[in-house]
Structure 1
């Protein structure tokens, strides 16, 4: 009888721990996708004046302040060299970078966000001074294509 009670106590303990970890999730339900809203302010900047890049990371209604990694990849159209800058959390799920550019032209940014076992990488175009010839999306050499993402 004692072995039976001990065995039941273990089962009840395991089930209660498991129930606490599920936090109202239904069996088999997938977590909500990690969303990234990438903003550039201003989208048309001037040489040697700061531009603010911000990745607002959320999952459902929750701000994601614990991303594993947030990196901004920035390059001028048709340049082989891509600058990758690791960005830290600032506040309320926002990861922010302020940067100036010394050359006019059309530029691109990809925010590589890895959080909660998911990866999201929105891409945007912006202009410094006078726009240069943009890249053809079908011939893009951004890290998505170079690294096999």
Structure 2
């Protein structure tokens, strides 16, 4: 009887340990924070950037990072490839040709997830 109790207790501990590990893994998600100034100059090259993390880990191996840029009131959108600059930061250089309000969306795919944060910027 004692052996069965010990075996049953061991199985419960193993199952509980696996469940708690699975819960921890489920809590991690792909987080993308835009790192772009909200006011930018026209006709000067600026840096579009985002910081990518998965839980507490800085993502250095995203499968895709692109910045989508468009001026409000127009349908013309541009996609600019982002490059890893270290410590989970991805960047692309871009020049806003005219003054106005623009939207910038980072399209990030990593860890089998996709995140698309958006920021509006004013170009003066």
Q: TM-score, normalised by structure 1?
A: 0.65
User: What is the match of residue 26 of structure 2?
Assistant: 30
Query: Cα RMSD over matched residues?
Result: 2.0
Residues paired across the two proteins, number:
106
Q: Which runs of 5 or more structure 1 residues have no equivalent in the other structure? A: 1-21, 130-149
More strand by share: 2
User: What is the match of residue 124 of structure 1?
Assistant: 119
Q: Which runs of 5 or more structure 2 residues have no equivalent in the other structure? A: 1-17
Q: Comparing both chains, which one has the higher relative contact order based on Cα–Cα distances under 8 Å and sequence gaps of 6 or more?
A: 2
User: What is the match of residue 44 of structure 1?
Assistant: 39
Q: Is the 8 A contact 2:51 2:89 kept in 1?
A: yes
Q: Is the 8 A contact 2:70 2:104 kept in 1?
A: yes
Structure 1 residues 28 and 101: alpha-carbon distance in aligned structure 2, compared to 1, 3 A threshold: closer
Cα distance between partner residues in 1 of 2:67 and 2:81: 6
Deviations 1:59-118 (A, max 9, x none): 111100010100100000011110011112111001011212111100000000000110
